[in-house]
Chain A
Amino acid sequence: MPSPVDPTSIAGKAFPVAEHVPLLVLGAGPAGLAAAIEAARCGLHVVLLDEHPVASALIGLDVPFVFGDRLDPAVQNKPRMTERVVAARPDLEQAVEAGVDVRLGVYAWGAFVTGATSRALPHPLLGLADEARSWLVSFDRMIVAAGARDLALAFPGWDRPGVMGARGADAAIRLYQAFAGRRLVVLGAGVLGLGVALGAQEAGLEVAAIVDVGVLPATGAATLRTLGIPIHTEHAIRATLGTAEVEGVRIAPLADPGAAFDIACDTIVCAVDLVPNVEMFDLLGCPIGWRPELGGFVPQVDADGRTSVPGIYAAGECAGVTDAAVADPALAAAAGRRAARAAARDAGLDVEALLPAPPIAAPPADRDAMHRHWLASHVDAARADVMICRCEEVGLRDLLGVRPPRYLSYDGKKFAARDLRSLAADGPINQDQIKRLTRAGMGACQGRRCREQVQLLLAMQGNQPTGSVPLPSYRAPLRPLPLNVLSAHDETQEMRDNWVVWFGIPGQWLPQWEPVPDHAASAVESRVLREFET
């Protein structure tokens, strides 16, 4: 006899889906576009999703890039922005011609698959949303080509409006054509900084200077010198200047902090590095490893981009950031095509031999060492009031002291004996624990502006490798979504009829100094009781 089903549990509950998609491709950057087109040519029905143009409200939160309050009001006009995104990505038209179902301005905020604590879903589900509502789609396979976001690293005054990231600047200038600045200082003389400088000059903007804490890297240095931009290597930022917004930056040679000088600018673009977007992999339960040569935490994949979760593939920068890939989007596109062919083959289609992986020109550099150099050049005990988590106003001192947030009063004497080192004596430092105690990373930007630097600071303070601090978990919704949007407008009547606050066990809410009465088992009584408080 089959077991009865607990009606208040998730067992048998239906979650209506808007459609079933054989292959989802997440992200319409170089990797995702190439993957979608290739998969469609292989004969798969493909839906290609991209969140751009994102809502201006998200741009204001620095989601998904660090926009630094440097986009003009045109971003509020979504139809216009959609036209610009299409214009900036001519391959989108090619994808449509190839039969790809392209959806722009759609957020992928959650993924729900079978796992150790989730067995009730009949199909893998992806949560999607636009500005008005959310919905679910089911899928057979998904290629995640979610790209990379800006690595935010603190320096004195980095929380002033006008400080943005490389991808934020690229989106503002090229994708949205809605950049509100005129004169930029670029931080980072590597290929990423070079790209920002070139893009800015092409758009007719002035690049006042390029600043790096290191020496000029071999890659791209020749090109950089031809741009006619003053380059300040082995310099650090001492302050940002301005009343409310950025009006300039003060820098000084590392070797001679006293020799500081000011550069006038309205925008500072932090182009030190990018962070692979692994959030969807984390939700899906894909094993993620620490690979400093690939920019940090990345999903474990095979040569064709298969993750170890069946049906989930990774392509492009979300699987790893290298100088070669930043300089040449064709590498991401090639990875997208390989993942598409793998998906098509796994779907049982007769696809020709897989594309060979392109040769790697040079062994990728250890990006972690570079990140540490940048952070150590700008943040130390003498500048402990530098803000680390801007949403929750957690300064360096608060973070390393494991201090409660500022809205709480507490006994300072008690906390004098408590800090990161005393906590480390109790066991390995865990960023999720630090997050809970200090709130660093708990804010509305969902940790995008501090996750990586908190990890670095915890590791540096503990004299331990960066990768020894485990990845703090990502949580749905992966984009901040209004209650009215996330709301299950399509919820089933069965869900409503069987909804309980907490388990619906009648005896739990009757006086526990008396035995459970027999009548508590009756359905009517339990209906009343399960509405009870917890």
Chain B
Amino acid sequence: MSSGASVVVIGGGATGLSTAWWLCREGVPVTVVEKGIVGWEASGRNGGGATHPASPLFREEQRLWPMMDELLGYPTEHQPMRIRVCVTPGQLALAEHGAALAEKQGFRVERLDPQALRELVPWVGDDVAGGMLLHYGGHANPQRTVQAYAWAIQDLGGTILQHTTVTGIRVQGGKAVAVETDQGVLGCDAVVVAAGPHTARITAMLGVEVPVAPARAEMIVTEPVPLIRHGGADGNGLYGRQTLRGNLAYGGGPHEWIELADARTPRPVNSPVVRSLARRLAEMFPRLGHVRVIRSWAGVIENTPDGRPILDRLEDPSNVVIATMSSVGFGLSPASGHALAQLVVRGRCDFADLTWLKLARFGGLAANWREHAGWVPWSAAEQPESFDGAGVHS
């Protein structure tokens, strides 16, 4: 890419914003196009976790997060370290799997007996099996972080167009030359598509098929309770954290595969699963059974067939970079944005092996892969036999 060239980033979620911010840091003029408000969808409504040892971006994720407040200039509420709470011996055995993956990469995991765990997390029950203190990973406030990215982009001279919907991409001579929106046309030298669940719809404008399936997932939030030393304590089938304000925000459990009819994301509602979330949280922290749930929320995320990101620069048009984080995007965003900015500017990432995150791995995918996996909307009303999932019991 030549100097002075401009980049249009489609999608104002964590991944797109971080990419734009990294490009701004390199002096590349950037315009972010967002159909709504920055970070409005899954990027602003997730567990805030930043602990992903299975990702090639893990090391960069761990390197960057402690610096993010300073680099962005605005608070992200990042907190280092995680605690894995294991209510049963079975959970303890399962947690070893994740620990091994991080330890292999040189990160430290401290095994905690019930007493040691209780000292760090006084909310656990008498019969807790044990836990782990992860001397890596952490968590941040998604809502504050996405706004921090947006403000930092503006501070560096970048432009963010909210309430602007992409309607087309103009291609000439094998390159994207302009992005058409409902607010006007933006000429460009490169394009980044980071549109989350809408990624496939955008890349279809280029004749490129990106296999992603959107789904709804949900979380609950309690009133604040006194802070523990490391708020990133989760387990028992839940992901989540104690926020710096003291609220407990936890999610997990059944997702719902959905369909996106158009450029809008329908309002993701909650389901009775919120009761099952409350049950698991009370099981994990029995001393907090009296603490009140004051809110719940849901978000829409997308998954690729193997659950892994697609971070790739297309061959045709050759100046288009596509990104989906396959439902795990927020925590990795400082690193994914860095990698994507490098793909835009240099054509390759120099700090992580993205070989297996290329789009080409899905070359032989069947057209009906979603149906084949059962990753499609399911309606009780449309079942052949009368399904009575609400079977009345007395």
Contact = CB atoms under 8 A, between A and B. Distances in A.
Interface in A423-450: 426-428, 430, 433, 436-437, 439, 442-444, 446
Interface stretch (A237-245, A250-258, A337-345, A476-484): A476-484
B371 interface: yes
Interface residues of A, number: 101
B55 interface: yes
Interface in B244-292: 244-245, 252-258, 261, 266-276, 278-282, 285, 288-292
B372 A4 contact: yes
Contact of B143 (A121, A436, A513): A436
Interface residues on B, range: 35 or more
A495 interface: yes
A21 to B, nearest CB: 10
A507 B326 CA distance: 11
Contact of A508 (B40, B234, B237, B307): B307
Interface in B26-57: 37, 40, 44, 47, 49, 51-52, 54-56
Contact of A499 (B276, B298, B361, B373): B276
Given A119-B377, A404-B75, A495-B254, A534 B49 contact: yes
A16 interface: yes
B101 interface: yes
A441 to B, nearest CB: 10
A5 to B, nearest CB: 5
A488 B279 contact: yes
A12 B389 contact: yes
A517 to B, nearest CB: 11
Query: Which of A409, A410, A476 has the largest number of chain B CB atoms within 10 A?
Result: A476
A481 B275 CA distance: 11
B328 A483 contact: no
Contacts of B244: 407-408
Interface stretch (A84-92, A107-115, A350-358): A107-115
A162 interface: no
Given A10-B255, A512-B56, A483 B289 contact: yes
Contacts of B373: 4, 6
Interface in B161-184: 162-163
A327 B261 CA distance: 47
B308 A112 contact: no
Contact of A533 (B40, B98, B256): B98
A117 interface: yes
Given A120-B378, A410-B74, A437-B144, A12 B294 contact: no
Given A118-B256, A532-B97, A487 B269 contact: no
Contact of B56 (A2, A410, A442, A513): A513
A350 B269 CA distance: 36
A117 B282 contact: no
Contact of A534 (B224, B253, B328): B328
Contacts of A125: 272, 390
B378 A119 contact: yes
A373 interface: no
A285 B141 CA distance: 28
Contacts of B326: 508
A290 interface: no
B357 interface: yes
A500 interface: yes
B238 interface: yes
Contact of A121 (B144, B163, B290, B389): B389
A227 B55 CA distance: 74
A393 to B, nearest CB: 10
A498 interface: yes
A427 B37 contact: yes
B293 A480 contact: yes
A3 B374 contact: yes
Contacts of A491: 275-276, 279
B37 A430 contact: yes
Nearest to A508: B307
Interface in A496-519: 498-503, 505-516
A427 B163 contact: yes
A383 interface: no
B271 A16 contact: no
Nearest to A7: B374
Given A446-B294, A483-B291, A508-B326, A12 B378 contact: yes
Contacts of A534: 47, 49, 52, 239, 328
A511 B272 contact: no
A404 B54 CA distance: 33
A114 B381 contact: yes
B41 to A, nearest CB: 12
Contacts of B381: 114, 119, 122
Given A12-B378, A533-B239, A409 B75 contact: yes
A112 B388 contact: no
B94 interface: yes
A4 B293 CA distance: 35
A508 B306 CA distance: 7
A80 interface: no
Contacts of A510: 54
B128 interface: no
Contacts of B203: none
Contacts of B328: 502, 508, 534
B380 A120 contact: yes
B378 A112 contact: no
A365 interface: no
B379 A120 contact: yes
Contact of B97 (A428, A500, A529): A529
Nearest to A527: B94
B216 interface: yes
16 contacts: A18-B392, A117-B216, A117-B258, A117-B267, A120-B380, A121-B272, A122-B380, A125-B272, A409-B75, A436-B143, A482-B289, A486-B274, A513-B352, A529-B97, A531-B91, A532-B54
List 3 tightest A-B contacts by C-beta distance, closest first.
Answer: A508-B307, A505-B307, A11-B378
Given A9-B257, A502-B217, A534-B328, 11 more contacts: A6-B373, A9-B374, A10-B256, A11-B378, A20-B390, A112-B271, A117-B216, A118-B271, A475-B270, A483-B291, A533-B51
Interface of A: 2-20, 110, 112, 114-123, 125, 127, 134, 136, 138, 283, 285, 392, 404-405, 407-411, 414-415, 418, 426-428, 430, 433, 436-437, 439, 442-444, 446, 473, 475-477, 480-484, 486-491, 495, 498-503, 505-516, 528-529, 531-534
